[in-house]
Amino acid sequence: MAISKDNVKSNFMELSGLDSTSAEVYAGLITVCADEMEKAVDQERMVAEGGTAICEFAAAAEVFYRFICLKAAEYKVMFTAQGKAVEAFDEENRIKAARELRDSAVSRAERFFSKDGFVFNAVIAY
């Protein structure tokens, strides 16, 4: 049993609060993270030890982390009640929480990784 992209998408939707249509925008990101996880794990050990759901959730947590980083990088402008434009870019805590969730989920899945090792890495500049 391989990593299910549908399960990764479903987990991502739960984490992000997006519906299926809105989550479809991130289908490429879901595929990339699911494929990265699938390449990283020892399939036999993952299946034998019942770790598929753990690994799918870890992949979804990575999708969610990247989603939060993308959202934080978007230029955001809000308008006050008086019509004044102000920047709104206070995403630091959301990124930190998403990173902690991702790190925790990946940590739980590490026992299923193949011997050559694996780490989700992303460099986001903003």
Range of the domain at 41: 5-112
Whether residue 13 lies inside any domain: the answer is: yes
Q: Which residue has the tokens 């955001």?
A: 76
Per-chain mean pLDDT for the chain: 85
Whether residue 46 lies inside any domain: the answer is: yes
Whether residue 14 lies inside any domain: the answer is: yes
Whether residue 70 lies inside any domain: the answer is: yes
Whether residue 121 lies inside any domain: the answer is: no
What's residue 114's pLDDT?
87
What's residue 73's pLDDT?
76
Instruction: Work out how many domains the chain is built from and give that number.
Output: 1
Q: Tally Cβ neighbours within 10 Å of residue 70.
A: 13
Whether residue 38 lies inside any domain: the answer is: yes
110, pLDDT greater than 50: yes
- pLDDT average, residue stretch 14-37: 96
Sign of CA dihedral 78, 18, 26, 35: positive
Whether residue 119 lies inside any domain: the answer is: no
- pLDDT average, residue stretch 39-66: 95
